[in-house]
Structure 1
């Protein structure tokens, strides 16, 4: 039975307690409650960008960020409301927040991002972080409500900082309470790829409206936020809470937010189930839906001291909607008021968690029963009870099943391509043998393949095409996000992709210029000419090794040689006009050769490179950095 005891929850919320008591739920509960305490303390000190809890005997430091009750801080004025207030993340600040192969930056809520950037640009924040790191403290970022997104950005920023500085330190943690959604699916994809996702834990209650509010269009949130934010501002400062007097207004707000959120969840569910419903596609084409999606671990606190944890982001999205749906119209007013009051009730919920002995993790259950009749064992009965208490209908459970199946489908896809690894390795071994054979004939494999004089040239082309088919299948899956999020960060695939690109791309370049495709289309390196399989594998390596984008030209220099040869010989462009490009190419070739990224066969006498190089002015060749490589 998947009932999580103190020890099991300790594993789920790893590294959040004192190291000497790493499996002690009570210690973790204290840290969580302390983080929430400081998050609420930050609310009461809005003039401070953050508050810190640091004690000499503690192994951690808590940075808590205040929420904001100003409408302007929730809805960016610079961004069109048609676009849900999102903007592409600044990759100079957050270089990992993108889809690597697809080269698409994450979109984030612009107003929340600006709040964080104002904090990080000031020296005090970085100074305090560096002090904590020097003292070997684990850093925990926390925020309630609008402070949650700031805590999230701070956590990602610290991960990026540690990586760029190559600092070995305990992973930072992020705890949010009633945080609104603030980023699209690419953000979550990137965080999971980097293996940071488990360090983000989001506590939400069953009816709290704020975690759902960003699923409504800005045109509507602009109308309601000026009414409900003052309510939160007033009650966050007081120990006793009041209700909004306009009961009808609150009910309408709740119903409209949930209606819009349901549209988002329904479209997502249709995609998960592979629906061919053209009505959904038609509506999506002219009704813009919110791009914001959950990520990390969500802890649903749903009453009676019950807690459900969920990691699958698609399942979280469905639960956000279905767990707060009304069972009847009669409870509309009551639930609507709860959607506001619960946003400030996390202290009570956390007190309940501290005394709770059973926490259920949805991702761990093998089967999700649709009803009590499908409960064949105690495990099924346990999760069925939890889902019943959350008010989940059969439709909701089908959506949760679809979310799980989508994840399983990604895993199955990777298993499928993993079985192709041996075939890829064998094909590349054949091409390595072809390369050696060409070298014994004193002609590089690039030129031999380009000339296509021998039977082995033809056979090499067959292997090139076989490999292209296998890699293109992978690229198509990546374009559709049909592989596990961590795939592009796996060392073994980055290494295999790099080996493939360095060995095989010269074949593609030779084929490109052999067939004069540059005359019909454009330069090889222009988008649309160079195959995506090489762009993707190049970006993998550059990201993994944290080197500048576009710096892995060791597999494409033949295209530079061909273009310079065409310009200077066929088009008779003067040497001085191309001198900078020539010098850059020579310097790169020397560096790549010294690093063993290109081999000696590149400089054989009959290669296109050497023949072209010998047409350069004698004065230049005499001082060239590669003259020894060519003459030796």
Structure 2
């Protein structure tokens, strides 16, 4: 059954208005304006004023500017902010340039921020000392500075912190372009911290950077200053009431068409709750002017809201998948024990595909792979200045899953005739999970595997690419069996095999290999039989001694001594 879609813009708007936060913030803005008539300015052309209010249950920071911002001030105020920008304030926002993302913000706001950087740094430090909730608010261009300041505070918070500031802006211009919008929206917890209030018939500044509809629906290139995009939630206040939307495309269209032209939809048949909701929103914020193209706008806003709500349902939330991930990993653990019981090992049990349970494991592996691809992709897109890309529990869970599932991917890869998995076939999410684990261990100085030392009978092999190295060693042995192989090629293969020997012996000394690799049906033991046939009779090495003297049977028992 298809679920009914509802447009809750009016209900959310009513809740926000009745909460008292808007009145509280606006009263502080008016108080901050008292006596502020300075026209002196710095490089930005504006004078910035802020004030810290310590209320009983909340701290409030207000930002305002003098003179009041006008269209002429902002018309061409645009500046790209690359990671190599010279301004100190630009470097502060480098964390938004993650994964090669670039963006632009209007020059007036960033210039004001840069002019007062040292003082704002002190203000930010002051905020960090208080345990009370924080509201950052501002009017007009002061609201843009408030948004930048809020982002700065958010970036310094721990990724799991629930103590996030709320930013309320009144009549502020849009701050950045699509790249800026995407950088913030990739972090839903941050995007939800912003509420922008605009009067649809009064405020000219908020809609200054909105591209008109005739640019959006044609091949004509819009002026550069029209490329700015909204982020956060918008409360649009009209003559008949208020409407709320967090859909950036709907906000842009509402601003560009509704605010400029005005639309009335009352009196039309309402075919669904979604359509009814959008119509009521349009009516709430309309101006007195009537337009003939109301059908087009109704359908457009309805479609945008419908798309937005359906996308929300599809948004990947790792926390909601945690239990499912644990269940799937438990199935893989059970599969591993079944493989060990028949002296084969999980890798070869899966590669040979002889059991009915293989079909279930394929499904479980696919589920885990899809989820970890999404988790890694989401972590890469989040604004991160530090090296902590995932919370510790997710990073360690990802490490365990990587060590469980990557060997199965390697089995599929070589079963289908692949070669050189590490260079040519390894999925991106495995590479990133391994890289982030190394960075985390380097920062903390503690190895994840040293935190809970276990018997090699139950551990997962630390190097999830181990079986790829085994397969490559087997291919080398196969190539050396060719009678007419050239001398140089034979020596190259022999060198690779010696490197593989050294690698395996290093893993054994670190107790980093699961004991299942020495099961009689494993590919590693198959490699050893193949290697014995081609090695010279008098050849000796630490690994050959280890294998020929059957020391591998003592591996993990605690009785093994390595010379």
Would you say same fold, with TM above 0.5? Answer: yes
C-alpha distance in 2, partners of 1:377/1:446?
A: 54
- Of the structure 1 ranges 130-139 and 531-540, higher mean CA displacement relative to structure 2 is found in 531-540
Among 102, 105, 110, which residue is 1:109 paired with? 105
Q: Secondary structure at the match of 1:196?
A: helix
- Contact 2:198–2:237 at 8 Å: present in 1 too? yes
Among 386, 405, 414, which residue is 2:284 paired with? 386
C-alpha distance in 2, partners of 1:307/1:543?
A: 48
What does residue 485 of structure 2 align with?
A: none
What does residue 468 of structure 2 align with?
A: 562
In structure 2, list runs of 5 or more residues that go unmatched: 1-6, 383-388, 450-459, 477-491, 533-538, 547-553
C-alpha distance in 2, partners of 1:131/1:123?
A: 13
C-alpha distance in 2, partners of 1:316/1:30?
A: 25
1:140 maps onto 2:135 in alignment = yes
In structure 1, list runs of 5 or more residues that go unmatched: 14-22, 80-84, 217-257, 267-279, 329-368
C-alpha distance in 2, partners of 1:90/1:585?
A: 46
Rg (Cα) greater in structure: 2
What does residue 455 of structure 1 align with?
A: 354
- How far the C-alpha of 1:406 sits from its partner, in A, is 0.6
C-alpha distance in 2, partners of 1:77/1:423?
A: 43
What does residue 156 of structure 2 align with?
A: 161
What does residue 326 of structure 1 align with?
A: 261
- How far the C-alpha of 1:211 sits from its partner, in A, is 3.1
What does residue 77 of structure 2 align with?
A: 74
Q: For residues 206-255 of structure 1, what are the alpha-carbon distances to aligned partners after superposition, in whole Å with 9 as ceiling and x for unaligned?
A: 25444344345xxxxxxxxxxxxxxxxxxxxxxxxxxxxxxxxxxxxxxx
1:12 maps onto 2:9 in alignment = no
C-alpha distance in 2, partners of 1:312/1:57?
A: 32
C-alpha distance in 2, partners of 1:113/1:602?
A: 61
What does residue 52 of structure 1 align with?
A: 50
C-alpha distance in 2, partners of 1:410/1:318?
A: 18
RMSD: 6.2
Q: For residues 289-331 of structure 1, what are the alpha-carbon distances to aligned partners after superposition, in whole Å with 9 as ceiling and x for unaligned?
A: 9664322121223346x33322222321220112123369xxx
Q: Which has the higher contact order (CA 8 A, sep 6+)?
A: 1
C-alpha distance in 2, partners of 1:428/1:388?
A: 54
C-alpha distance in 1, partners of 2:113/2:198?
A: 26
TM-score by length of 2: 0.61
1:466 maps onto 2:363 in alignment = yes
Q: Secondary structure at the match of 1:52?
A: strand
- How far the C-alpha of 1:385 sits from its partner, in A, is 3.8
C-alpha distance in 1, partners of 2:376/2:29?
A: 39
What does residue 436 of structure 1 align with?
A: 337
- How far the C-alpha of 1:440 sits from its partner, in A, is 2.5
C-alpha distance in 2, partners of 1:584/1:308?
A: 67
What does residue 333 of structure 1 align with?
A: none
Query: Paired residues, what number?
Result: 477
- How far the C-alpha of 1:436 sits from its partner, in A, is 0.7
- Change in CA separation of 1:603 and 1:209 when aligned onto 2, cut-off 3 Å: farther
- How far the C-alpha of 1:43 sits from its partner, in A, is 8.0
- How far the C-alpha of 1:507 sits from its partner, in A, is 0.3
TM-score by length of 1: 0.55
- Contact 1:509–1:524 at 8 Å: present in 2 too? no
- How far the C-alpha of 1:159 sits from its partner, in A, is 1.4
- Change in CA separation of 1:151 and 1:75 when aligned onto 2, cut-off 3 Å: same
- Change in CA separation of 1:373 and 1:190 when aligned onto 2, cut-off 3 Å: same
C-alpha distance in 2, partners of 1:155/1:587?
A: 51
Aligned pairs for 1:307-386 within 5 A: 307-326=242-261, 371-374=266-269, 383=281, 385-386=283-284
Q: Secondary structure at the match of 2:230?
A: coil
Q: Which has the higher helix share?
A: 1
What does residue 479 of structure 2 align with?
A: none
C-alpha distance in 2, partners of 1:92/1:512?
A: 44
C-alpha distance in 2, partners of 1:294/1:212?
A: 10
What does residue 530 of structure 1 align with?
A: 426
C-alpha distance in 2, partners of 1:535/1:30?
A: 49
Q: Secondary structure at the match of 2:229?
A: coil
Among 249, 260, 263, which residue is 2:215 paired with? 263
